[in-house]
Amino acid sequence: MSTALDELLKRSQPRSSQMLEHLMGEGVEHAELLELMGRLPRHEFVEPAFSHLAYSPTPLPIGRSQTISQPLTVAKMTLWLLTYARLGRVLEVGTGSGYQTCLLAHFFNKVHTIERQKSLYLQAQTRIRSMGFNNVEFLHGDGHLGWPQKVQMDAIIVTAMASKVPVALTDMLKEDGILIMPIADEVPSIGCWQRVGYKWKRLESTPAQFVPLLEGKVDA
């Protein structure tokens, strides 16, 4: 067991068992993912006034009018990555609370994560470092612009909704890389695609609501 997981185990709560039962009931069967979600102190990632609901099947406020997705949505997105992506380098747009970032940091060699709101960026960085993850690079910036160093990603996960995929992001994805992103269509849904040359092969899709992907960064 990694030191990071050991560290998390100390802070785990019996109340996460209800969340795990719900996830398993919905068909999430990946033992390592369930174990990790069971140990991650989700109540530390949400606004304190909502910490008693942290393990419930609902999205919750994380500050700055942003929300963390419900556990099942986070689990599904992570499962898609575990199923289809090479677990090398991943880019996350929308660090938010850093909950999804922790799951990525556990499974991928290297995580790059971008958040436009300075206070959330700072808070997530402190939180994740204190949990012992040391393979995450944080950026306060606009995810529309991609990562400043033009490294190619095995996977990109966007946790805020837009009507189309920002070009800078598609440019950073390796041939046959995996993109997960919520798209504001007739039925808003989160999709999983594989890049095949200049085309996209859709692998998965499920209806979901997300906060919007916004332009620019906020220095507060």
- Binding residues for ligand SAH, rule: CB under 6 A, are 62, 66-68, 93-94, 96-97, 99-100, 114-117, 120, 142-144, 159-160, 211, 213-214
Q: Can you tell me the distance from the alpha carbon of 18 to that of 15, in angstroms, rounded to the nearest whole number?
A: 6
In whole angstroms, the minimum distance from the beta carbon of 2 to ligand SAH comes to 20
- Among residues 2, 69, 163, 189, the one annotated as catalytic is 69
Contacts 24+ apart (CB under 8 A), 28-31: 28/72, 28/75, 28/76, 28/79, 30/79, 30/82
User: What does the DSSP 8-state code read for residue 162?
Assistant: B
Query: Does residue 55 contact residue 42 with C-beta atoms inside 8 Å?
Result: yes
Distance in Å, CB of 220 to ligand SAH, minimum: 12
Alpha helices for the chain (secondary structure H): 3-11, 16-25, 31-39, 71-84, 99-107, 118-130, 167-172
CB of 29 to ligand SAH, least distance (A): 22
Shortest gap between Cβ of 13 and ligand SAH (angstroms)?
18
Q: Which is nearer to ligand SAH, 63 or 176 (CB)?
A: 63
Helix axes 99-107 and 71-84, enclosed angle (nearest 10):
20
In angstroms, what is the C-alpha Rg of the chain? 16
Residue 181 or 213: which CB sits closer to ligand SAH? 213
Choice between 183 and 213, CB closer to ligand SAH? 213
- Residue 130 a catalytic site member: no
Nearer to ligand SAH (CB atom), residue 151 or residue 176: 151
Residue least distant from ligand SAH (Cβ)? 96
Decide whether 135 or 196 has the Cβ nearer to ligand SAH: 135
DSSP of 175-212, one letter per residue? EEEEEEEEE-SSS-EEEEEEEETTEEEEEEEEE---PB
Q: Which pair of structure tokens corresponds to residue 119?
A: 């206070």
Minimum CB separation of residue 114 from ligand SAH in Å reads 5
**Known catalytic residues?**
69
